[in-house]
Every structure is written in C-alpha cells, then in structure tokens.
Structure 1
Amino acid sequence: MSPVVTTSPPSHQYHTTPPIAIIGGGLAGLALAVGLRKHGVRFHIYEAVAALAEIGAGIAFGPNSTRALSLIDPGLIEAYKKHATFNENREHDDTFMSLRWGMDERKEAGAKAGDLMFHLADIWYPEGARKLGVRTRSCIHRARLLDALAGLLPADAISFGKSFESVEESSDGTVMLHFADGTTATASAVVGCDGIKSKAQKIVCGPSVQASWVGEYVWRAMVPKVEAEKALGVELARNGQIYCGYGAYIVTYPVEHGDFTNMAAVYHEPGDARSWDQGEWTTPATRDEFGKEFAGWHPPLVDVIKRHCMLDRWAMFNVEHSAAYYKGRVCLLGDSAHASTPHLGAGAGMAMEDAFILSNLLATVGEAGRYEDAFRAFDSVRRPRTQKLVERSRFAGLVNEFLLPGIGDDVGLIKKHLEDSYKWVWHEDLEAQLEKAKKLM
C-alpha cells in the first residue's frame, strides 16, 4: 500500500468544531476511523512513522472479531474476507484450533507427541460466523488487514511523522496536541490508539499503569506451504493446530490463502530463571538456542521451525490494571488500554469491539460536545470485559503449557477450561452492550 503523505487535517470551513484526533495508525486506530467515517464524524489520524506498517505476521479472528468488523462497517467484513484464510478441511469449519500433544505425555503408556487431544470448536452458535460468510476461525496477515482498513478511508485522513508527546485542554472546550517535531494540532477530543507503549496511556492512567512481562516469549516463523506440508503433512499444515507441552506450546495455522503456515513457539521461563530485561521487547537468539528450549518436542515440528525461525525472541507483555480508560477529553482504545497476551487469539478482536462501541457513542455526541460522557460510558462497558480478557488470556497460556494449578496436563480439565473462556470471548452481545452504554450517557 502506498503511503499517504499529509501534514495536517484537511480544511473544511463549514465545520464549527475541530475533528477527533486519533493517535496511532495501527489496526485499532484505523478501525475506529472507519467506524467514525461511517457515522459522518470528523476525525484525523496522527501516526508517528512515515508509512502504515504492522509488526508481526498472522492474526487469528474468532466469531466475536468478525462480527465486530461487520458492525463497524459492512464494507470492512467484505474487504476482510478477500484476504482471510480458513481451515482447509471443511469438516472443521466450526473448529477454532485442534489441540495436540507437542511432546510425549509424562506417564507410562501415555499419549505421544503429535497425538490429538481434542478439537476446540464453537459448539454454541456456529451459524453466527456462517451468516457473515466466514468460519469459526479465520486468519489474516496483519498487513492485509491494515490494507483493508485503510482502503475504506479517504487519502487525506492520516498525517505521518507525527510522534505524539502531550495534550492540553483549552478553555474553549477543545484540546491541543503537541508532537515531537514541535508542531501542534487542535481537536475536539483525543483517542489514544498508540499501542502497548502508549504515551496517551501515561496521560490518562499515570505512571503506575504500564506493560508487564508475563514470563513468556515467542519464537516466530513463516513457513512456505511446501515446507510445512513436507514436515507436518497436508492436514496439519493447512488447518490450525495448538501443540501443548510442559512449559511451552506451539501454534500453527495457514495464512495468505494457504501459501504460508504461520508458526509461533511460546516458551515459559522457569520461575527461578526469570531474566528478561523489562526495557527490551526482543532479544537476539540463535537456532541452537531454540533447539535447546524445545528439546524433546515433536521432531518434525521443531525441525521446520528451527530452519525458518526469525533470530529473535519476542517477549510477551500485558497491561492489567483497574484505572479508568479516559481522563477528560482523552480516551484509550485497544492495546493502549488493555494489551493482552495472544493465548486466546482475541487481542485484536477486542480492539475491533472497542472501535464499534466507541465510534457509535461518539456519533451520538454531535454539537453538544459531550465527549467525556461518551468516554465514561465506553469505559463502563468495555473496561470490565477487556480487563477480564487480559486475565483469561494469561491463564489460557498457562493451560496450554500445563502450568495452571489444578489442571496440569489433564486433557478433560484443559478442554473444559478453554471452552469456558472461548465461549465467553466469542458470544458477547455487542449490540446489547452498545445500548447499555447509550443509556449510561
């Protein structure tokens, strides 16, 4: 996608109020912008880098996530479907992931590495995804989703090279944004969509709220189709899998319409060996280090990841707190408010839910300027759910790693725990949540 180069919002003399400022041009910020545009609400996006870009590769969406896309704008779900990849085996249309043993079970005559544990499926309302023309799990390359979102926005919607620094509220009810290059901009309100390293978060929540390492890091690999099929077989390479093990797990799923299999190996550092520098998000690593950490795991899986993995470990952080998501005319959305680990495949989906709720609430503000009322209502309905996701996602990682007390490697208990969490994630009534928020306004 070619970058749009602008330095300031377009001038519209007939408008009496300045636009809403969106800080950050990632998935969350663009989704909010698409929702605001649908409702005719003026906005402008300020992005620190010189062009739109997303870190990472594949991203998984469950039924709640695709439902949120359709609610934000029907055109968005249609654009999404053009790039989405599903399980190839149509018998698993309702399956999110198939869970398998990543290493031999630690008991006599136990399960062997690669054996099936169970299929994690939507047994409650699978027809919801079908009605949208998708399936229970769909995956998309982050860059493709960014393209889909940007394609629904006007060319002059984004100013690049604008690193947000601070904001001050003016006596006339507007807010003034200050950027690192010394420029300023006026807005009616500000929504911080600037991710887990958010500067807006510090303004809203103060220094006590910050990202914290959860004791895990991930190795990433994007494996070409032929290589994945050769290592794992067609069935496992073309359908989503989670390989569970003692102190780690590996997730694999096809992306780019099956041309690649995205693989992520999550390693949980033993409690007595915690050494991650909290100031670093990645550290260089070697293939031999990967092989050592996953010694004893399913050999064909470990071998193919070892050949294709990026030579970095990526630390996993989350943002867990009880502070309000807004302060005055500044509000947080997505990872800036509630970054979670990816163990439930729901972090980006929660940002899409946020965007649906907040864009609708801001559309009700009108000329009255009740932005703080909208932010308060948003916080009231979204903070409990999104902070619960942070907790549930962290627990899901421990379950996949056989580390959650009381569950361990008991397959029956693992299945029950995960089904409870995925049902909670997938089947929230977003339209009812919106109506509740509107009543609070």
Structure 2
Amino acid sequence: MGSITKEPQPPINLAIIGGGLAGLALTIGLLPHSKHIKPTIYESAPAFAEIGVGVAFGPNAVRAMGMISPDILKGFKKHVTGNSPDYPELRDVWASFRYGMKGGDGEGKEGGNGKGRKYGDLICHLRGTEGGLGEMLEQAGISTRSCIHRARFLDELVRLVPDGTAKFGKRLVEIEELEEGGVKLKFADGESVVADAVVGCDGIKSMTREMVFGEEGRKSTPQFTGEYAYRALVPEAIARETLGDELAKNCQLYVGYRGYIMSYPVEHGKFINIAAVRQKGDLNWDNDNWIIPSTTEDMVKDFEGWGSNIIELISRFETKDKWGFYDLPHEHKYYRGNVCLLGDSAHASTPNLGAGAGMAFEDAYVLSNLLGTVQNASEVGKAFECFDEVRRKRSQNIIKASRKAGQVNSFLGEGIGDDFDKLRPDIEARYRWVWDFDLEATLVEAKLKLLSL
C-alpha cells in the first residue's frame, strides 16, 4: 500500500491594517513563519511615517523587542538614547522625580503650599529592574532609560520588512466577515480585497475596532482623560542653557500641583524631549481635533507658579500645540471571528506611565508566536481567542495605572497628595508592576489554551 501524502496547505493570507510600530512589529514577528502565513500591511498614508516625537520603552518592552527579533533590538540600539554617559551613576535610573514648583510656602494658586520645598528638590531616583531584565539590558548595551525618536525607530523596523509586503494609500472604510469564510476589506480608493484573517493595528481611532466591537460596543470610544500636554523637541544647547547640564542631559520628572513636566534626551542627546502635562479640571475637550493650536502666553500661564527655568524653557518651545490625552478603557474582547485588535486599537493609554507603546511589542510577541502554530485559516480565530484571554487583563490594567500615574504626578492621588513619603513607594510599585512581567510565561499559557480548544 502506498503512503498517503497530505496536500500542502496554502499560506494563510493575513491582512494587517496599519503600518505603525505595532503593525511592523507583528509583521516582523511573523517572518519565521512565512511558509504558512503571508502578512500584507495596508497603510492609509502614502508611505510609512510616524507622528510624534520621543517615545520611551521600559525594560519589559525592550526585552519583548529582542524576543520578537534580535534585529529589532539591533536597530533600536542604533538610535536609543539614555541618561548621559557623563553621569555614570545615573545609568540605571529611569527618571529622577523632583519637585517642580517654586520654592517656599507660596503655591496657593493650586491648593498646595509647597511645605517649604524648593524647586528641583529630589524626591527619588527610580532605578532599573534587577535580575534577568537588568542583566539583559546590560548585555545588550542599553541603559535603563531607553528613549528613541519615533521616526528613527520606524525606519529601522521598515528595513526588516520584505519589499512588497505593504500597500499604501489604503484607508479602510468597511470590513465584513463572509459566510463562506474570509474577511472582505473595502478601501477608500474603491479597491476591495478578501483575506483569511485581519489584525487591526490602526491605532486609537481604529476602523477595525468598529467591526470587532459591533453594535454593543459603539459607546466604547476613546475618552478624554482630563489631561493635556504641550510637547516639543528642544535643542540640547537651549536645554543646557536653561536647566543646566545634569538636569538637561538626564531624564527628569518634575511633579507639582495639577500637573507634571517630563524631560529626557533623544537623538543621542542632540535634542531634549519635553512634555508639560496639565490637569484640565473637567472631562470636556471642546474640540473635534485632539491636537489644537495654542500660544506661548497660554503655555506660560498654565505653568504659573512652577520653577523659573522650566517656565523659561516652555516659553522657548517652537511648537505651540496642545495635545489632549485620550485612552480606551473597555470590557470587550479584542477579537471577533477572524478579526483581532492589537496595540492602541485595542488598549490605547495615556503616556503618563511610559508603557503604552511597549504593550504593542508585548502583543506582537504573543500573537506572532500563536499564529506561528496555526496551520490553516480555520484555526486563526482560536489563536485570536487565546491572545485575548492572556493580553486583555494586563493591557486594560495598564490604562488604569497610567491614568493613576497622571493623577499621582499631579498631587491628586487619593491618599497620597503631596506627601513625598507616600509618593516614593507608589512610584516604585507602579513601575515594578509594569517592568517585572514574565512575557514568556504568558505565551506558554496562551499556547496551552490553544491546544485545549
């Protein structure tokens, strides 16, 4: 009797909606599985591009990059910037938390009196994680404070994606699951394509999410958090002139009444990324645009009562835009049938914890490895289900923790206020929870779930 040979299965045609950091990370994670899964990126812009300035990644996120592909970590290392090597004692410091208001007891404007503290007083140095994650960073030659210009990092990721993988000018307008199997995608240019499965990496304003959530999830839209920020890249010379060398060349987080200011170097110290965050006092953002024009006068007025050199630095911002902070808390599953959400499309958070972008790389590691075990399109929905079960709780908790971080940094934390003795352990605990996370164990859990289905 002759042996029976199985017909080779055609590769799974996976549509990835969005060519930002999340979509590229997932695509790169799928490259080792190219024999049985073929990803195609559909990007609405005419080319790969990132908006924004600097972005920070915690040790957990940096480790996830290397677990997806050592080449991602290699590209990241080319442009990553940490605290200045001129201050080796700060190499393992994520951020130096300092008091940001004027000295003395006169800060009545924001409901606090400063308790005799002076501008720049050190609250604590938040240092990097110990053990395996810390060793990994050291071996990779990356300091705890890992910041990079978004556009530079995107360029490195694009280099790892094979030519022909992406299609540009493809703004998704409609998505439909077909009875006979597959998912039909319609784009604004009139083209329609059918894919075996879809992953929406199309950000906080995701079109894919509308299909996944369905009618019951229509109210689960991005929410204004009551915070906004002024953001800018400032040339190093201006920052050093204004703040002094140590404060300009290393990450600082100035806390104060109803706001905080974060500064850190990017582009190997050529620029200092500044985010000056304010609590609005209500949850109304009276504009359809999330980024609106402002003025130097408005910025300076918003930070009246803060340290004079911080005020001077803000007054020298070339960009005057005001960024409203939105996030996406919800209880809905991250998938529906053969359509799944990843990154900000599923769980956008505020930047207060420096953890939002890192969640996309954790997502990409788990999902790419799950999809790598799937042999045909009929099994993809099961992989999405397992991804949802292991990623939804953590990523939604990140949203809550990031909102709390914004409150605590603004002396609005319940039971904490402006008490530094309570603030220090809260800072330590909130970052350790993000960083000290066993991502490999999460993948094992997801694979075991997949085997049981």
TM bucket (normalised to shorter chain) is: over 0.9
**Partner of 1:35 in structure 2?**
29
Match 1:243 to one of 241, 249, 254: 254
Counterparts of residues 6-405 of structure 1 (less than 5 Å): 16-40=10-34, 41-88=37-84, 89-104=87-102, 106-107=112-113, 110-125=116-131, 126-205=134-213, 206-271=217-282, 275-277=284-286, 279-367=288-376, 369-405=378-414
The equivalent of 1:435 in structure 2 is: 444
- Report the CA distance between 1:109 and its aligned residue: 5.7
Secondary structure of 2:16's counterpart equals strand
Aligned pair in 2 of structure 1 residues 162, 71: CA closer, same or farther (>3 Å)?
A: same
Deviation of 1:108 after TM superposition, in Å, equals 7.1
Separation in structure 1 between the aligned mates of residue 114 and residue 231 of structure 2, nearest angstrom: 33
Alignment-mate amino acid for residue 149 of structure 1: L
Please tell me the residue identity of whatever aligns with 1:85: T
User: Which residue in the other structure is 1:10 paired with?
Assistant: none
Tell me which stretches of 4 or more aligned residues in structure 1 moved more than 6 Å. none
C-alpha distance in 2 between matches for 1:142 and 1:404: 30
Partner Cα separation in structure 2 for residue 359 and residue 270 of structure 1: 41
Inter-partner Cα distance in structure 2 for 1:356 and 1:227: 39
Structure 2 counterpart SS, 1:343: helix
CA drift of 1:19 comes to 1.7
Q: Secondary structure in 2 aligned to 1:242?
A: strand
The Cα of 1:276 is off from its aligned counterpart by 1.4
Q: Work out whether residues 17 and 188 of structure 1, in 8 Å CA contact, stay in contact via their aligned partners in 2.
A: no
Q: Give me the whole-angstrom Cα distance separating, in 1, the residues matched to 2:135 and 2:117.
A: 33
Identity among equivalent pairs (%): 48
Q: What corresponds to 2:108 in structure 1?
A: none
Alpha-carbon offset, residue 302 of structure 1:
1.6
Aligned residues: 426
1:97 is aligned with what amino acid? A
Decide whether aligned partners of structure 1 residues 246 and 309 sit closer, same or farther in structure 2, where only a CA change above 3 A counts. Answer: farther
Q: Counterparts of 1:232 and 1:405 in 2: how far apart (Å)?
A: 31
In the alignment, what sits opposite 2:420? 411
Q: Deviations over 1:349-389 (max 9, x none)?
A: 00010000000001111236301110000000000000000
RMSD value, Cα:
1.5
Alignment partners' CA distance in 1, 2:19 and 2:296: 34
CA apart distance, 1:133:
2.3
TM-score, structure 1 length as denominator?
0.94
Cα pair 2:93 2:126 within 8 Å, conserved: yes
Q: Secondary structure at the match of 1:42?
A: strand
Larger displacement relative to structure 2 (255-264 or 360-369): 360-369
2:200·2:342 contact (CA, 8 Å) conserved in 1?
A: yes
Given that 1:219 and 1:309 are in contact with CA atoms closer than 8 Å, whether structure 2 keeps it comes out as: no
User: For 2:178 and 2:280, how far apart are their aligned partners in 1?
Assistant: 48
- Taking structure 2 as the reference length, the TM-score comes to 0.91
Amino acid at match of 1:249: Y
Contact 1:212/1:278 (CA < 8 Å) preserved in 2?
no
Contact between 2:101 and 2:114, CA under 8 Å: does it hold in 1? no
Q: Which one-letter code corresponds to 1:312 in the other structure?
A: D
Paired AA for residue 123 in structure 2: M
For residues 125-184 of structure 1, the C-alpha deviation after alignment (integer angstroms, 9 at most, x for no partner) is 332321332121210000011011111001211100000112222344222111111111
SS at match of 1:364: coil
Q: Is the 8 Å Cα contact of residues 84 and 257 (structure 1) preserved in structure 2?
A: yes
Alignment check: 8 A CA contact 2:53 2:232 kept: no
2:382 aligns to what SS in structure 1?
helix
- Write the letter of the residue equivalent to 2:378: G
Q: Which amino acid aligns with 1:54?
A: E
Change (3 A) 1:171 1:248: same
**Cα displacement (A) at 1:107:** 4.2
Q: What is the CA distance between 1:275 and its match in structure 2?
A: 4.1
> Structure 1 residues 275 and 185, CA, compared in 2 at 3 Å: closer, same or farther?
same
CA distance in 2, matches of 1:233, 1:182: 55
**Range with greater deviation from structure 2 (331-340 or 409-418):** 409-418
Contact 2:212 2:335 in 1 (8 A): yes
**Pair 397,22 (structure 1): closer, same or farther in 2 beyond 3 Å:** same
Sort the Cα spacing of 1:121 and 1:360 in 2 relative to 1 into closer, same or farther, 3 A: same
Residue 5 (structure 1) aligns with: none
- Residue in 2 aligned with 1:3? none
Distance 1:362 1:73 in 2: 16
> What is the deviation of 1:298?
1.0
The DSSP-based 3-state class of the residue aligned with 1:425 is helix
TM superposition shift of 1:98: 0.3
Distance in 1, Cα, partners of 2:114 & 2:92? 34
Q: Could you tell me how far apart the structure 1 residues matched to 2:432 and 2:287 are?
A: 33
